Amino acid sequence: MKYKEWLRQWLYLVKPTVKQCTYERYASIISGQVEPGLGDYELDELSMRHIQTFVAGLAGRYSPGTVNCVLSVVKRSITFAEDLEVRQSRLKTRGRYRLRCRRDILCLSMENQRLLENYISKANSPKLYGIIVCLYTGVRVGELMALKWSDIDFKNSVMTVSNTCRDIYGEQGYQKLLDAPKTFSSIRRIPLPGKLMCVLRRLKAESKSEYVISGKDGKMISKRSYQNTFSLVLKKLGLPHMGIHSLRHTFATRALECGMDVKTLSEILGHKSATVTLNVYAHSLPEHKRAMMNKVARILQ
């Protein structure tokens, strides 16, 4: 059996066990990268050398994160074939070939954050206030797009994050999908500061949609569309281009600069553990580290 034939069978078998967005991602990776690179090999003849050569070819064309996603699909499909004894030999793919994909943490400086907030306040566009929500809560853009007014407890100033919007690419092109968050820890309640509550109360009074941030038709906005909106705002203000996820990084950076403990920050961000938070942000605050070291020195003196 050719590997590409098994990949089609594997997709059929795995579809009932994964989320729709996961299935669509698997299908896209298989048709775009795996089948052209490895599909013509016999399933039983596919070796670690073949996979290593395949990964090396991808590394020159795609980011480490994308390559690791492709490699994950290869590993899962082969392991499944071995477990069902469709493939006779065992291939030791676990823990091999994964590329390092640590990226620099991009966030707004305090000066640029103030510039951005002032612009949004003067523009007074309900859609743009989603940027403020991200800056003061650290929610992911998908979580922001899925946020409904019913998720805001105005009496106790608390936001409940329990859904996310995913952009999936299927037979009908890009579509918006309201889905559960990636992990259980992503379901969380976030206390809201007074400044943000004032903004939300004003937006709620003017809103005709069930979503906190919506399009002119009152429907949910796609992540891709809101990223484009954010990019246009940055360009208009003459600020460096960065992904909308940088708003989440900005919130985390400001929180650490203000002295928030890592455990609390981890719970607000919806990380699995404080270790994840440390791994992401510990290397990104050299000035904060220097200030803390100087503080220790002053105490000792």
List, for residues 24-78, the tens digit of each pLDDT value: 889 889 999 999 999 999 998 898 889 888 988 888 788 777 888 898 899 999 9
Fold identical between 3-83 and 110-292? Answer: no
- At 170, the pLDDT band (50, 70, 90 cuts) reads low
The percentage of residues in the chain with a pLDDT greater than 90, rounded to a whole number, is 51
Tell me the CATH architecture of domain 3-83: Orthogonal Bundle (1.10)
pLDDT of residue 97: 55
* Predicted confidence band of residue 95 (pLDDT cuts 50, 70, 90): very low
- Mean pLDDT to the nearest integer, 236-260: 91
Q: pTM of the prediction?
A: 0.74
| Banded pLDDT at 130 (limits 50, 70, 90) | very high
* Long-range own/partner contacts, residues 213-218 (CB < 8 A, 24 or more apart): 213/126, 213/127, 213/129, 213/130, 213/133, 213/144, 213/145, 213/147, 214/127, 215/127
Does the structural domain 110-292 have CATH classification 3.40.50.1820? no
Q: What is the pLDDT of residue 90?
A: 81
What one-character DSSP code corresponds to residue 100?
P
User: Domain residue spans in the chain?
Assistant: 3-83, 110-292
- Those residues whose C-beta lies under 8 Å from the C-beta of residue 154, and which sit 6 or more positions away, are 197, 200, 201, 204
Query: Is it the case that residue 172 has pLDDT exceeding 70?
Result: no
